[in-house]
Amino acid sequence: MADADVQAYTIRLELADEPGQLLAALEPIADAGGNLLSIFHERGNITPRGRIPVVVDLECPPERFPPLVDRVRAAGVNIVEAGADRLAETVRILITGPGVAADLDEIVETAHAGAAWTLIGMEVRTPSGPEAAATVVLELIVPDGDLVGVRRALATGLPDSAVIVEPLEVGDS
């Protein structure tokens, strides 16, 4: 498909923890002409209702998006949110400082537990030498672009020695 004809979209799903759920969600997307760009699916990350959040980035012509969403719903998959503007709210935040390696569990837990954001990616950058510190890179979808709120929530959950480096504005990432 020519670039000018397609638009990028993000769909947030909540899947039941049963075999075949992910396939049931992705098949209608492909059948409806959506081009999958990325899928973030982490079985360890369960919502309060016992479901597994999945974030799908896809490309399709704008007129095909609403019927695509309908198809996914018709397959019995729960869509939490679907839209084009979500990608603009994706931000990268770094968490670094001397205690990162030692506090990794706490950092991972805080990153997953956020109500003010959806975690769509995480990466640990190892230090360059024995004395050096590691850096965790979080990729988040931030509703309303409220970076100040995200930072505050992260700071509350993280150890005091953690240094949070976030962009100036949501659109910067």
Partner 1 sequence: MRVAIVGAGSVGRAVLAQAPRRGHKVVAVADSRGAAVDPTGLDAAQVLAEKEASGQVGAAEADALFDAPYDVLVEATPTTLGSAEPAFEHIQRALGADRDVVLANKGPVAERYADLRALVDRSAGRVRFEATVAGAIPVMATIAAYGPTEVTGVRGVLNGTANFILSRMAAESLAYDHVLAEAQELGVAEADPSFDVEGTDAALKCVILANVLSDDDQVYQLADAAITGIDAIPTSAHQAARDAGMTIRLIGEVGRDGVRVGPRLLATDDPLAVTGTENIVRLEIADAGPMHLAGRGAGGPETAAAVLADIDRLDT
Q: Residue 165, interface with partner 1 (CB under 8 A)?
A: yes
- Which residue's CB is nearer to partner 1, number 43 or number 152? 152
- Which residue's CB is nearer to partner 1, number 98 or number 157? 98
- Which residue's CB is nearer to partner 1, number 71 or number 92? 92
Q: Map residues 96-125 to x or -, x wherever contact with partner 1 holds by CB under 8 A.
A: xxx------------------------x-x
Q: Residue 38, interface with partner 1 (CB under 8 A)?
A: no
Closest CA to 9 of 28, 49, 37, 50: 37
Burial per residue of 112-134, b for 16 or more beta-carbon CB atoms within 10 angstroms, e otherwise: eebebbbbbebeeeeeeeeeebb
Question: Hunting for tokens 């931030």 — which residue is that?
Answer: 142
Angle in degrees, CA 16, 33, 17, rounded to 5: 10
Binding site for partner 1 (CB under 8 A): 92-94, 96-98, 123, 125-129, 132-135, 137, 148, 161, 163-168, 172-173
